[in-house]
């Protein structure tokens, strides 16, 4: 039986150790970068809670420019307000969450920001799925859920563990979305002035078929004049004959 020289066995052992260490480092590298979340009051049903997110960079070529967050059930976008973040960054809500974005932070630097939540839901943990954008178009998706969530494994979403609700704590109604401003109503049109044709009959005119007293007087005068003229003509004709 041939014996392997001690020097060769030691060299093999060193190579195996180095290979194992390299594998560990390679496996740990991508998982070292992730998004973490902390709260000043990590308790179910806590009100006016400040959440602080820290997004670690995975790029050595471009800085972080945006963080798109999908809110967990129990938190609506109208209950979230922006508190602080990188210089020049802005905050905007969407139907399912919000986005903070702005000028790229320094290459390799973390992006940290904070928001205030009106009330946390009555649950044991909250997962905030996050899309992390860079200036060169790259996107890291921290959206996976499961047993390893919140521990920096794979592409896990940041998870916030919550303690039990305080005695007597109750669920508050969510802040309603802003209603659109009603359009101003058109000014009312003034009523048209009454004309003789549409002036309602009053008094005797209404009772006598629509003619006023003056109208009947004029008719009577005209009839009397016609009768007088007829009598005058008949008398002249009688005298002439």
Which are the contacts of 144, defined by CB distance < 8 A and separation ≥ 6? 154, 155, 156, 157
Decide: pTM greater than 0.85: no
pLDDT for 70: 98
Judge whether residue 204 has pLDDT over 50.
no
Note the pLDDT tens digit of each residue in 102-125.
999 999 999 999 999 999 999 999
Burial class (CB in 10 A: 0-12, 13-18, 19+), 89: buried
pLDDT for 223: 67
Q: What does the mean pLDDT of the chain come to?
A: 78
Judge whether residue 135 has pLDDT over 50.
yes
pLDDT for 81: 98
What's the rounded Cα separation, in Å, for the pair 81 and 65?
A: 19
Highest mean pLDDT among 32-46, 98-112, 209-223: 98-112
Burial class (CB in 10 A: 0-12, 13-18, 19+), 53: buried
């Amino acid at each position: 039986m041939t014996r392997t020289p001690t020097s060769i066995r030691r060299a093999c052992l060193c190579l195996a150790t180095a290979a194992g260490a390299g594998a560990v480092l390679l496996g740990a590298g991508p998982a070292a970068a992730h998004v973490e979340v902390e709260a000043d009051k990590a308790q179910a049903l806590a009100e006016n809670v400040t959440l602080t997110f820290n997004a670690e960079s995975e790029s050595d070529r471009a800085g972080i420019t945006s963080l798109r967050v999908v809110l967990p059930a129990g938190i609506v976008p109208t209950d979230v307000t922006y508190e602080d973040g990188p210089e020049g960054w802005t905050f905007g809500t969407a139907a399912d969450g919000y986005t903070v974005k702005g000028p790229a932070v320094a290459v390799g630097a973390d992006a940290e920001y904070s928001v205030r939540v009106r009330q946390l839901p009555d649950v044991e943990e909250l997962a905030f799925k996050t899309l992390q954008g860079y200036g060169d178009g790259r996107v890291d998706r921290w959206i996976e859920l499961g047993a390893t969530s919140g521990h920096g494994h794979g592409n896990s979403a940041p998870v916030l563990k919550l303690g039990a609700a305080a005695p007597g704590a109750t669920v508050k109604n969510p802040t309603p979305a802003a209603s659109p401003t009603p359009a101003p109503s058109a000014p009312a049109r003034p009523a048209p002035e009454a004309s003789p044709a549409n002036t309602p009959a009053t008094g005797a005119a209404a009772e006598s078929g629509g003619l006023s007293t003056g109208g009947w007087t004029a008719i009577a005068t005209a009839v009397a004049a016609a009768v007088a003229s007829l009598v005058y003509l008949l008398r002249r004709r009688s005298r002439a004959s």
